[in-house]
Amino acid sequence: MQLGVIDIGGTFVKYAAVDEEGAFLFHGSVPTEAAKGGEALVAKVQRLCDELMGKVQLDGISISSAGQIDNVNGRVVFATDTLPGYTGTELAQRISAHTGLPAYVENDVNCTALGEYWKGAARGTRDFLCVTIGTGIGGALFLNGELYTGSHFSAGEIGHINLYPNGTLCTCGQSGCYEQYASSLALQRRVTEQFGEGWELKAYFEQVKAGNREAVQLFEHWLDDLTTGLQTLVHLLNPELIVIGGGISAQGDFLQQTVLSSLENKIMPNHRQSLQIKMAEHDNKSNLLGAAKNFLDKSGMEQVSN
C-alpha cells in the first residue's frame, strides 16, 4: 500500500508518499500562506495531491492538520484566526472528491502521538501524553492504547490550562493560559526582553548550558512554568511517559533531564515511580508517520466491520 500524507501546519505544509511500513518514498514542503484563508489552503492541498499522484501510485490520502478535527467525518470543527476561514472545512470529503481516493484527517498533535507510538519514542506504550512545544502548546492524550479525543474531538487542548488567573491575554480569548508562559514563543519573548533582539533559542540554550547566570535564571523560571502544567496532567492521568515534540525537542538530553528533575519534585511518589520523559524521535516527520498510521488503522477497521 502507498499513501499520500500531508501535514498542514501554521507555517508549512509538508507532504510525502509513504508505504505501509512508514518508509518515505518522497517528501517535500511548501509555505502554508495561512493568511490567504481556508479555501486557498484546500486548493493548495489538492495541488499537492496531484503532484504526489503524478509521482507515485497512491491507495489513499491521509492528512494531519492544525485545528480541532472531527476525525470521523474529516471536518475542521474549530481553527483559530491563524487559519482564517478554515473552521467548517469538509477536508476529507473535498480531498476525496478531488483525488477519487479514500481520505482521512486527524489533528496534528494526535498525529505526532500516533507517529511516535508507531515508530518512535512511545513504541508499545499504552498510556502517554504527547506535548508539542512551539508557538503554542499542543497536547494529545493516548490512553489505554488509543487516542482519547473527547466528546467532540477537542480533548487535549493543554495549552489553555490556566496557569496564572488574570495573566497574559491568550489567542483563545482567555488570559493566563499555559502556552503564554511555557511555549517556545513565550521563552523567546523573555529572551528578547532580557538579552535584546537577535538571540535565537539555539544560541540562548548554549548560554544556559554554559552556566551563564542570567540565562540560567530565565530558563529555570520557564522550566518551572512548564512543569507546573505537566504536574496537573500527571496527577490527572498518571501516564507512564510524556513525549515532548515541537522545535524545542532539539534540546534533547538537556531538556529531558531538566524537565524530569523539576517535575519529579512536584508529583506524588506513585506517579513518579513509572514516569518517563522522552523527546519525540521523528522531529518534523512524526505527523506524516502518524497520518499514515491513522489511515492504516481507520481503513483496517472498515475492512473488519465490512
Binding site for Zn ion (CB under 5 A): 160, 170, 172, 174, 177
Alpha-carbon torsion 293, 288, 189, 201, what sign? positive
Compute the least distance from the CB of residue 165 to Zn ion, in Å: 13
Compute the least distance from the CB of residue 158 to Zn ion, in Å: 10
Burial class (CB in 10 A: 0-12, 13-18, 19+), 77: middle
Compute the least distance from the CB of residue 236 to Zn ion, in Å: 18
Largest Cα–Cα separation, the chain: 63
Compute the least distance from the CB of residue 20 to Zn ion, in Å: 38
CB of 93 or CB of 162, closer to Zn ion: 162
CB of 177 or CB of 292, closer to Zn ion: 177
CB of 135 or CB of 294, closer to Zn ion: 135
CB of 25 or CB of 170, closer to Zn ion: 170
What contacts 184, CB < 8 A, 6 or more positions away?
133, 134, 135, 201, 246, 247, 248
CA distance linking residue 5 with residue 280, whole number of Å: 19
Q: In terms of Cα–Cα distance, which of 112, 154, 121, 118 is closest to 9? A: 112
CB of 17 or CB of 155, closer to Zn ion: 155
Compute the least distance from the CB of residue 87 to Zn ion, in Å: 17
